[in-house]
Amino acid sequence: MQKLLVICGPTATGKTSLGIYLAKEFNGEIISADSRQVYKAMDIGTGKEWPPARKASGSEGKKGVVIHGYDLVSPKEEFSVSKYLRFAREAINKIAKKGKLPILVGGTGLYIKGVVDGIPTAIVPQNKKLRKNLETKTPTELFETLSQIDSFKAGSMNTSDRKNPRRLMRAIEVATWMIDNANRHLRESRKSYDTLFIGLTAPFDYLEDLINKRVEARIGNGFSEEVAKLISLGVEWSDQSMMSLGYRQWRDFVEGAVDREMAIAEWKKEERKYSRRQVTWFKKDKRINWFDIKSPGYQKKVEKMIKKWYSRNYVS
């Protein structure tokens, strides 16, 4: 069974730095699980470990460790969970074929869950023809249509969902696709890995300070210039990429709605809120082995756990 090491946790806990250290120790390569780092020309604001070589197959930085998952698409393009899952699984296979350990590193919980556990609906493409036929229907009519196709899904929806046309149309879309592609879907949506989860955490006051300092460092490293360059390249504020933390807060400053200090304060606040959401997400997963980054020598404890896990052999 293919081994997969996962390093997860809230923002600013040093996940990538630990991943680089472990990649050297265990002959591994990193796969970024960060929904913001997939965009080209967005290096500073997304916290890429180093300016990568511009190739989707993996970037080898100055530290001699390959990181996959940087620069996958133009910032003008949209990027979905399904696209990430296809990329990540291909990357895992390529790394494994080289006899190396795939190390999934990041804080985007949905990406990690999708790779490890599968997200059945994530691989279902949009059906524009079906949506066009459904867009004139009322929520009641949409719910009735869903009930005829997938009564279980319809029964599981709460009152809010039943009144939401967008969610109802997506549910119908998924149910219709599942009927047509059931067997192939079941094969593709789940991949089995022997996975070890390492989670990094810290007291929130300490983490808050790290977040604040990191935002300030990114601004000092040329974030404002990076945003200006993106705009000059034709990237628009309405593009999915520019909805990322930092970039969307900077818009008000660029357009003169707030001053620089207020934009920075808002960015820090939103990063802290994002961190809390990440903690809430990851704490639900009881497979994660948590390590406090304030604890002296925690890296060696992590390394010891990985050695024990990595030495175990399984018959696939």
Q: What is the pLDDT of residue 80?
A: 84
Q: What is the pLDDT of residue 52?
A: 47
Q: What is the pLDDT of residue 57?
A: 44
Separation between Cα atoms, residue 127 and residue 179, nearest integer Å: 14
Separation between Cα atoms, residue 124 and residue 99, nearest integer Å: 32
Sheet holding 28-32, edge to edge: 59-60, 66-68, 28-32, 101-105, 3-8, 194-201, 288-292
Contact 153, 171 (CB under 8 A): yes
Q: What is the pLDDT of residue 315?
A: 43
Dihedral, CA of residue 36, residue 38, residue 40 and residue 46, to nearest 10:
30
Separation between Cα atoms, residue 133 and residue 33, nearest integer Å: 36
**DSSP code, position 53:** -
Q: What is the pLDDT of residue 56?
A: 38
Output the CA angle 213-214-219, nearest 5 degrees.
100
Q: What is the pLDDT of residue 61?
A: 56
Separation between Cα atoms, residue 245 and residue 248, nearest integer Å: 6
**DSSP code, position 120:** G
Contact 188, 121 (CB under 8 A): no
Q: What token pair was written down for 139?
A: 């929520």
Q: What's the per-residue H, E or C state across the chain?
A: CCEEEEEECCCCCCHHHHHHHHHHHCCEEEEECCCCCCECCCCCCCCCCCCCCCCCCCEECCCCCEEECCCCECCCCCCCHHHHHHHHHHHHHHHHHCCCEEEEECCCHHHHHHHHHCCHHHHCCCCHHHHHHHCCCCHHHHHHHHHHHCHHHHHHCCHHHHCCHHHHHHHHHHHHHHHHHHHHHHHHHCCCCEEEEEEEECCHHHHHHHHHHHHHHHHHCCHHHHHHHHHHCCCCCCCHHHHCCCHHHHHHHHCCCCCHHHHHHHHHHHHHHHHHHHHHHHHCCCCEEEEECCCCCHHHHHHHHHHHHHCCCCCC
What is the pLDDT tens value at each position of the chain, 316 positions in all? 899 999 999 999 999 999 999 999 999 999 999 999 999 999 999 999 875 443 434 555 556 899 999 999 999 998 888 889 989 999 999 999 999 999 999 999 989 999 999 877 776 788 899 999 999 999 999 999 998 888 767 887 888 889 999 989 998 998 888 777 654 544 455 568 999 999 999 999 999 999 999 999 999 999 999 999 999 999 999 999 999 999 999 999 999 999 999 999 999 999 999 999 999 999 999 999 999 999 999 999 999 999 999 998 654 4
Q: What is the pLDDT of residue 181?
A: 65
Dihedral, CA of residue 206, residue 226, residue 17 and residue 191, to nearest 10:
110
